[in-house]
Structure 1
Amino acid sequence: MSTATKSRAPIILATVVILATVGYLAFTGVQSNKSYYVTISELQSMGNKAYVRHLRVAGNVAPGSIKRSGTNANFVLLEQGRKLQVVYQGSEPPPDTFKDDAQALAVGMYGHDGVFHATQLQAKCASKYAPKDMKPLKPTTSATATVLPATR
């Protein structure tokens, strides 16, 4: 082996180790942050798989079910006649749009107790985003235009 090849070997080895480490960290980071979107009926029929996956579940907030305590909230999600008890324990309080009948998306884990334990919560109030009734425009009187001859 020549001296030039011997002097490059540590650089090549260091590059391979760094790339392998970055690849491993990227793979494990994606795996830990991956969450599956499921409906309430799919969640309830998943069996033991539901308890080990990070999930996102959407539905409408059941009227009168919201119980707030600081940044936490307990409520029920409804979707096609199915109910899901949700306990939200996040670092921030639920959004302002989180109200009765609002569409909500809970991100977290399903517990063996049959309760969805959410760490993130998104909500959208359907009535807030509905278009307003528009009044027809009043017709205006047309103005008469005077055409002047062009000058050079």
Structure 2
Amino acid sequence: MASNQRKPIGIIVASVIILATVAYLAVTSIGSTKQYYVTIAELQGLGDKAYTRHLRVAGNVAPGSIKRQGMMVNFALMEQGKTLQVAYQGSEPPPDTFKDDSQALAVGTYGHDGVFHATELQAKCASKYAPVDNKKAATPAAAAAILPSTK
């Protein structure tokens, strides 16, 4: 009978050890992969916390700020009157839509040098999402160009 009682206790102890290990791995891995989205103003106000976190920062690419050197690109992001210098060095070249005045999202870390060091870069063309000029669309020729033909 004593051997029968040991089996359930052994299974319970093994189960507790496995669950504790899985919980520990889940908690520690979440902390290392977590990315915080911050505005440029928030980033500049984070203090020492800015240097230890993996961050996502968005803004508009400052006109004339893009400097390319092979796979590395230096540029400035602007948002609500604040500017952030960004150095991108990733495994892929910047997207085709990465141009002056485009909206960009940089993922990386903030350095003690005041530069955001990005390892990922996403961009979308601002003009592609601009609203239609109603004055142009009001002319018959413009309306015919926009609307499909019913012939």
TM-score range, shorter chain: 0.7 to 0.9
CA distance in 2 between counterparts of 1:44 and 1:138 reads 50
> Shift of the alpha carbon at 1:128?
2.0
Please report the TM-score for the alignment, with normalisation by the length of structure 1.
0.81
What is aligned with 1:19? 19
Match in the other structure for 2:129: 129
Tell me which amino acid in the other structure corresponds to 2:41: S
TM-superposed deviation, 1:55: 1.2
Find the aligned partners of 1:138 and 1:21 in 2 and give their Cα distance. 62
1:94 is matched with 94
Unaligned runs of 5+ in 2: none
Root mean square deviation of aligned Cα: 2.3
Once residues 54 and 14 of structure 2 are traced to their aligned partners in structure 1, the CA distance between those partners, rounded to angstroms, is 35
Alignment of 1:18-57 (within 5 A): 18-57=18-57
Deviation per CA, 1:31-61, whole angstroms, max 9, x where unpaired? 1111111111111122112111111111000
Shift of 1:2: 3.7
Mark the CA change 1:9 to 1:140 in structure 2 (over 3 Å): closer, same or farther: closer
Aligned to 1:3: 3
How many positions carry a matched residue from both structures? 141
- Which amino acid is the alignment partner of residue 101 of structure 1? D
Cα deviation, residue 78, structure 1: 0.6
Structure 1 gaps, min length 5: 142-152
Residues 39 and 15 from structure 1, CA distance in 2 versus in 1: closer, same or farther, beyond 3 angstroms? same
